[in-house]
Amino acid sequence: MIGETVAQGGRGAGRVSDPVERLKGFLPFLFLMAAIFCLMTGEVFAQGGGGAGAASNPMEQLKGFLPFLVFMVALFYLLIWRPQKQQQKEHQKLLANMKKGDRVVTSGGLHGIIHAVKEQTVSVKVADNLRVDISKSAITSVSAAGEPGTN
């Protein structure tokens, strides 16, 4: 199910990995910000009085809109861009530190133990006498050989 894209065990257990799911909690807040934006722009146009007064001084309109724009950019940076960059850095670090014997889970749900690490791929032992070469980018979680995180 789409709403249940939670990482299994190990790193990131219990966190929602889908950005759309993460944004659902902020939707009421975003709607509130949109309403405030509409009220602010309505006030700016109302203060201009329409006609020649509003068109002759666009800097006054910009002064009313600029703080809201800065606030929205800062909000998106803090809620979306920064956490996503941190998650990407964690994932790159995770992929760089993989070694033989670690347990992995792929994005397709395949569980296995690393047999060999190559430059772009990883050889994963899925069952006795069955090894599969998987792209490193398809690995979603890694736990050390002794950790019980992934089965």
**Element spanning 115, H or E:** strand 111-117
What's this model's pTM, rounded to 2 decimal places? 0.54
DSSP state of 118: -
pLDDT in tens, 45-92: 555 555 554 455 777 777 777 888 888 888 888 888 899 999 999 999
CA-CA distance, 129 to 127, in Å (whole number)? 6
Q: How many Cβ atoms from other residues are within 10 Å of residue 110's Cβ?
A: 14
Round to whole Å and give the CA distance between 15 and 69. Answer: 30
